Structures are given as C-alpha cells and as structure tokens.
Structure 1
Amino acid sequence: MAVATDHKGPGPAAAGVPRGAAPPFRTAPPAGRSGRGRLTAVAPYLLLLPALAATAALLGWPLVKNGMLSFQNLNMRQLIQHLTEWNGVDNYREALGSEDFWRVTGRSVAFTGVNVVLIMVLGTLIGLLLARLGTRMRLLLSVGLVLAWAMPPIAGTTVFQWLFAARFGVVNWVLDRLGWHSMADYNWTGGQFSTFFVITVLIVWQSIPFVALNLYAATTTIPRELYEAAALDGAGAWRGFTSVTLPFLKPFLLATVFLEVIWVFKAFPQVFAINEGGPDRLTETLPVYAFIEGVGNQHYGMGAAISLLTILILLVLTSSYLRIALRKEEDEL
C-alpha cells in the first residue's frame, strides 16, 4: 500500500506528537527581543542624563560651594592672602541671632503674600476676560501680555524708574494734571511704603501675563456642555463660574500660586535696582539682604549663610502651602 507524503515535511503525527496537541516545548524568543526590551526600559533614564548633568553642574556645584563658604570667615583679608578660615556655624548663629535678619524675613513674607494675592486676582480676571473677548481683541491683548512678559527684568525696572521719577516722571505729571499738585515733584523712592508700592506694581505687571495666558489656556479645556447644562438649571454668571469654571481651574490655580510664591520671594533685580533696598535699608528682602551683607559689606561667609537660610525658609513656605493644598483636596474627595 502506498503512503502519501507531504512535500512540506513530516507533520506532528510523523514526529510522534498527536494531531492537535501542543508541542512538548517552546522555542526561546530571539535574544535581540529581550535586549530591545531592556533598552526601552532604560531609555528614559538615559535621555534624562544630559539634563541632570547640566543641572548638577550649573546649580548643584554652586550650591555646594556656597554651602562651604557659609562655614568660613571669608572677608577681604582672607581673599587677598588666599586664606581659608573655617568658623563652623558662627555665621548661622550670628544671622539667626540678629534682629535685622528676622525683621527682613517678616518683611519678605508679607511682601510675597501681598504680591501673590494681587497677581492671582488680577491674572485670573484678565484670563477670564481673554476667554470672553472676540478673536481680534483677544489677539491684541495677548500680544500686549506677551510683550510685557518677554521684557527683561532690568529693562522693565528701568522703565518704571523713568515713569516714577520725581522731576520728569510720567506718573507725577499725570497726577499733577489731574489736580494733585502736591505730587508734581513727589519722590516715590523716598519712603518705605512708596518704594514698596513701585516695586509691587512692577512685579505684579511682570507676573500677570504668565497667570492670565495660562488660565485662558486652561479655560479652553472646559467642555461647553457643562455651561449649557448649568444655564438650563438656571445658573447665572457667578454660579456658572463657581460650579463649572472654578472646579476645573482649581488644580491650575494651586500650581500657579506655588510657582508665584517662589518667583516673588526670590525676586532680586526689581527690589535692588529700584532703590538698592533703601531708603535706610527699609525695603530689603532676604535676597537683597544676603547680597548687601555678603558683597556690599564684604562678609562673604555671612552672605552665603543668609542665602542658604533664604532657601530653607522658601522650602518651609512652599512645603507648608503644598501640605495645606493637598489636605483641602483630600477633604473635598
């Protein structure tokens, strides 16, 4: 009897395996596939290495050097003679025991709080205005915000110095024309509160574009159907804002407040360029105080210690804010 054979080779029955049954073993996947999987898992970390190296070189190493300086008695004599005099925690003890340090710290916290509140309120209002405007007016206002945001801090500070100049400033001229003749030659940088007023206007003006543009971008992600449903329920403009807009914008607002606290607290060029912390050092914030004590008075070790204490205070403020914000979110869930 002839036996039919398959030209493609023996089947499972010919190999001693019943038809329909699985083979007794499976072949291992190619070695290249497992290697490719490992490379895929490691690739994100490899891509982060250049950024981490740049951050360590540009930020980490200066921070380490600054920390080393804070434990030294480094004045002009030590610089000229190339001496290294370690004094332990004396700089920190002297700074923390100084009334001036705590006075400047309280002033910096209050200054930051006032600026952040004004920035968030005005930035939110302008962002909501952008969402309501037509295309042309929105484009015009957005261009103005971008130009204000793109101006370098020193350039913007110089413009504000011209605006608030005592003799030829535009602000005094306008106030004089409006009937406040006593403001014709008013010195805005001659007092503590007037100087802080100019600095606050400058910082708020520079910070509003970031909040407004990002908040407008966040409003574009809110579904229109939610507003329509709220309108059908009889919700007005205020109720629609509190029940629809605000819940969607809340994560953005929390993150923006966090960023603005950091930005305002460490603001240096605006405060220093307006009046160098004057008059009589009454408008110094912690960054300016550290610079004047370190570079101005040539106590570089003390300046380094104050700068590190400034970073620690900022970390305490931001961590406290995050703790409060996260706790509120947990309570609402």
Structure 2
Amino acid sequence: MSAQTEEATAAPPAPTTGKGGAPPPRPGRTRAGRAVPYVLILPAAALLVLLGWTMVKNGLLSFQNLNRRQLIRHVTEWTGAGNYRDALGSAEFWGVTGRSVVFTAANVVLIMVLGCLIGLLLARLGTKTRLLLSLGLLLPWAMPVVAATTVFQWLFDQRYGIVNHLLDQAGWHSMAGYNWTGDQLSTFFVITVLIVWQSIPFVAINLYAATTTIPTELYEAASLDGAGTWKQFTSVTFPFLKPFFLATTFLEVIWVFKAFTQVFAINEGGPDRLTETLPVYAFTEGIGSQHFGMGAAISILTIVMLLVLTAYYLRLVLKQEEDEL
C-alpha cells in the first residue's frame, strides 16, 4: 500500500457543511425543537401574567375610595394609605385576624393528626383493604367544595338534618331541633368538620406514599433494638419524613387560612359576623358594604400575612438543607 493510500485511509472524513458553508444543525436542535420549552411554559406564564395584573389592579384599588357613588359617576378618589390606616386601626380587623389564626391552627392540627394516623394505617393494611380505603378517601377530596358544603348544610339542618335525627334517636332528645348555625362555636364546629373531612385525604395518601420510600432495614433495626410502634415512629418515620411533614403542614396552613367558600356558604360569617375569617371579612367589607377600596386593602393585608408565612417556611427549609450538608 502506498503512502498516499495510507494517508487517505487515516485521514478523518471532511465535515459536511450546510447551506452557505455553515455547520449542519444538530439533531434535536431544529427551530421547532428550540421552541418546545417556550410552548410548554406558555400556560404558566399566561397564568402568572393574569394573576400579576389582577394583583396590580387590586393593589391600586386599595389606595382608592371606591363605592357606589364613584362607580356611577366614574370618579377615582385616591386616599393614599387611608384604607390601610383604617383597617390596621380597627379593633374589628384585629379581632377577625386573631379568630382566623385560632381557626387555622385548630383545623391544621386536626388535619395533620388524623391524616397522619390514617396514612400510617394505609401503610399497614393489605392491598385490597388499602385500595378500598384509598377510594373512600378520594371521594371527599375530589368532591367540589360547593357540593360538599351543600351536603353538610343538609346534614346539619335544624329541621330535616340527619345529624339531629341520629342524636335524637340516640337519646339526646334536646338535639332534635338544634340550630347548628345559631351560635359561634357550633357554626365553627360544622365548618371545621367540613374542612377537616375534605383535607384529610391529601395528607393521608401523601403520607402513605412517603412511607414507601423508607428503607425497611431501618424498621428491622429498630425492632431488634426493642422499639415499639410509637418509638419506631419517633425514631424512624418522623425523622425520615420531616420534610414531608413540614411541607404538608405549610400547605394546609395556607389552604385553611384562605378558605372562603366553606365559611361563607355555611352561614355567611354569621351569626352576627362572629364566624368571619379574613377572606370573608374582606368580601363583606368590600362587596357587602360596597366599600371596595377597604375590601381590597384587607385582601392585600391577608396576602402579606401569607407571604410572611411563606418566608418563614422557606427559612426553615433552607436551614434544614444546611443542617443536612
């Protein structure tokens, strides 16, 4: 074989070029391929723009004195921070805020305790029983909030409710015609039962899914050390699933704190506005009293409180990540 033949054999193939001497496009880097990520994020971006514009409009409204007269005359009256001063200086606002915090705390504690217990039960059941219980949990979680609230209004109805009937049949004859929405505590009881009933499935099913990620060797080692059920939970399950408990508790706090439909539909914040939480209070002051600027200011203050909670949650998450490192 000649030297020229050997050089021709050893030389790498000349790179092909595209149009005009440009290198050919890479596989998967066509114009359509480059556009796919932007198309996928388009719905989220559109939603973000919509929410952002709504927040901007609501923020501008909170600095205005807007009621029926201004709407009819198409007049904009700027009041600066007057609505915020009136809200923050009102004893009623702080009373509703304290009530909302207590209401949220009570609901979240019940949701997390009962949801975790049911989630741990799911982890110990057989396949068929677990499937049956999971289906039973999905039904209340998938039910629309308005439909579930309507069902609970019928269940606790003063004259025709099944709850009063069952209590009467059980020997509590004084409950035969009991008005569950007649006072503050009983109304909050009905609302709490409704919210907890609809929120437990999320915690239970997610906890069960999280327990499947725990290595069985940890439980075997704990059993060899003589650890019982409670000790296994505190020494194995809870430390391993601490991020889950933290994230789920935070989500439940947000969802319960901003709950509007259940509280308003049961008794519209009554009796005597004693069961109003901040979302209902903002609606009543804004739409009900037609002082839209004040309602917008209260809603902005509610969002600020949620942002403070979010910042505290993120701080805990970052601290936990630092500890793990």
Give the alignment's TM-score, normalised by structure 2: 0.89
Contact 1:261–1:318, Cα closer than 8 Å, also in 2: no
Identity %: 71
Distance, in Å, in 2 between the alignment partners of 1:48 and 1:309 is: 33
- Name the aligned partner's letter for residue 111 of structure 2: I
Q: Deviations over 1:87-113 (max 9, x none)?
A: 111111111111111110111111111
Distance, in Å, in 2 between the alignment partners of 1:60 and 1:94 is: 26
Aligned length: 320
Q: What secondary structure sits across from 2:5 in the alignment? A: coil
Give yes or no for the alignment of 1:155 onto 2:152. Answer: no
User: Which stretches in structure 1 are left out of the alignment for 5+ residues?
Assistant: 16-22
Per the TM alignment, residue 6 of structure 1 is displaced from its structure 2 partner at its CA by 3.5
Distance, in Å, in 1 between the alignment partners of 2:69 and 2:27 is: 60
Distance, in Å, in 2 between the alignment partners of 1:70 and 1:286 is: 16
Give yes or no for the alignment of 1:84 onto 2:81. Answer: no
- Name the aligned partner's letter for residue 162 of structure 1: W
Structure-2 residue corresponding to 1:8: 5
Contact 1:96–1:102, Cα closer than 8 Å, also in 2: yes
Distance, in Å, in 2 between the alignment partners of 1:327 and 1:281 is: 41
Structure-1 residue corresponding to 2:101: 109
Structure-2 residue corresponding to 1:119: 111
**Residue 276 to residue 321, structure 1, CA distance change in 2 (3 Å):** same
Q: Deviations over 1:151-204 (max 9, x none)?
A: 011110111111111111111111111111111111110111111111001000
Between stretches 309-318 and 145-154, larger displacement belongs to: 309-318
Distance, in Å, in 2 between the alignment partners of 1:167 and 1:193 is: 19
Give yes or no for the alignment of 1:317 onto 2:314. Answer: no
Structure-2 residue corresponding to 1:275: 267
Q: 36, 53, 57: which one pairs with 1:65? A: 57
- Name the aligned partner's letter for residue 8 of structure 1: T
Distance, in Å, in 2 between the alignment partners of 1:292 and 1:254 is: 33
Per the TM alignment, residue 51 of structure 1 is displaced from its structure 2 partner at its CA by 3.3
**Residue 32 to residue 72, structure 1, CA distance change in 2 (3 Å):** farther
Between stretches 42-51 and 195-204, larger displacement belongs to: 42-51
Give the alignment's TM-score, normalised by structure 1: 0.87
Distance, in Å, in 2 between the alignment partners of 1:121 and 1:296 is: 37
Per the TM alignment, residue 56 of structure 1 is displaced from its structure 2 partner at its CA by 2.6
User: Which stretches in structure 2 are left out of the alignment for 5+ residues?
Assistant: none
Greater C-alpha radius of gyration: 1
- Name the aligned partner's letter for residue 296 of structure 2: A
**Residue 120 to residue 329, structure 1, CA distance change in 2 (3 Å):** farther
Q: Deviations over 1:125-155 (max 9, x none)?
A: 0000011111111111100111110001111
